[in-house]
Structure 1
């Protein structure tokens, strides 16, 4: 008995919560309703008849379109529907990641070694799921040749295109030429990573030579201005 009373109280609390969103069962006030069940149109009937059908099936009468003429109700298990809806929302929140915008800066006069280092750092940031703003800083009269910064960003993107795509193409912002990169879709990353592996396996099969092991990834260094 105590268990049954507890269940009844939980159902009452659930009914109060549901009432804030949709009218169900005796909360439906319209005298005539258009009723749907399992996608089938049951037609227009009185609210009393619709409630009787719901009760006989052990389900709920849920008013899904109160402003229609007549209002539309669906016969369904509303508790199960709410549970599955909440579950989908939780999974959606877990699946969504807060994407950070990181920045990598370079100067116009930068050597290839520094470009390579910053490219490795950028690839690791993209692999971690972050967006990366890549900026070229102009000094003094360097700003009179913005095409130099654009060319540098184009070269830089060519080095990291295996890990990201260009969300915003290079544009001039004050004394900076900037572009924004976003992580490549996982399927694209896998395909690009698999191509050299397939080529190595093919070479090995053709010449009996074992493919060299992949280089170990270097740890991510703090992102800062480059020389």
Structure 2
């Protein structure tokens, strides 16, 4: 049994503990039911629940949500268009998102897989300073895809 201020009141019956809690105008909350004997605490349960929810909300705010952004390319893409798509991918990576690069081959384009792979690798090279390749270019049916993740920030070395 733990008191309202955190002091230990010792082992007592449930009736006695409930009576003490009722006299103080507080609640008796079982903190560790699996312990022998179970550990109970005298507290304001509404306040306890509010504080717990508040801590959970703060923890949820601190979590960073990582999204997967997709960029579609063609093996016939022009250099300037490739630069524009790479610039957009760099923005996604700098924001902390993953980038999935997809190239769809249609009809006779399936015979130009090597050109497509070169284009994807050139695209990855233009994003190399802000991201690293997580999944190398893989052919899946008519799609060739690759995953780029944000580069890890290296901690600054101190000269001490």
- The TM-score with structure 1 as length reference comes to 0.50
Question: Structure 1, residues 96-137: CA drift from partner, whole Å, max 9, x if none?
Answer: 566554321112233433322211011123344544321123
Matching of residue 48 in structure 1 with residue 41 in structure 2: no
Question: Any unmatched runs of 5+ in structure 2?
Answer: none
Kindly report the root-mean-square deviation, in angstroms, between the aligned alpha carbons of the 2 structures.
3.9
* Alignment match, 1:137: 104
Inter-partner Cα distance in structure 2 for 1:152 and 1:57: 74
Q: 2:58 aligns with which of 79, 91, 108?
A: 91
Q: Give yes or no for the alignment of 1:82 onto 2:49.
A: yes
How many residue pairs get matched?
A: 155
Q: C-alpha separation between the residues in 2 aligned to 1:166 and 1:42? A: 59
Query: Paired residue for 2:40?
Result: 73
Find the aligned partners of 2:13 and 2:137 in 1 and give their Cα distance. Answer: 64
The separation in 2 between residues aligned to 1:75 and 1:161, in whole angstroms, is 58
Matched residue SS, 1:64: strand
User: What SS class does the counterpart of residue 11 from structure 2 fall into?
Assistant: strand
Please report how far the alpha carbon of residue 62 of structure 1 lies from its aligned counterpart in structure 2 after TM superposition: 0.8
Q: Verify: 1:112 aligned to 2:79, yes or no.
A: yes
- 1:150–1:61 Cα change, 3 Å: farther
Give me the whole-angstrom Cα distance separating, in 2, the residues matched to 1:41 and 1:149.
71
How far 1:94 moved relative to its partner? 4.1
Equivalent of 1:122 in 89, 98, 102: 89
Cα distance change on mapping 1:125 and 1:76 into 2, 3 Å: same
Report deviation, 1:93: 4.4
1:152 pairs with 2:152: no
1:148-202 alpha-carbon deviations (Å, 9 max, x no partner): 54443333223223334445443222211112334456xx2xx69x9xxxxxxxx
**CA pair 85-150 structure 1, distance change in 2 beyond 3 A:** farther
Alignment gaps of 5+ in structure 1:
1-34, 195-227
> 2:109 matched to 1:175?
no
The one-character-per-residue Cα deviations of 1:28-60 (angstroms, maximum 9, x if unpaired) are: xxxxxxx35688876532123434665687754
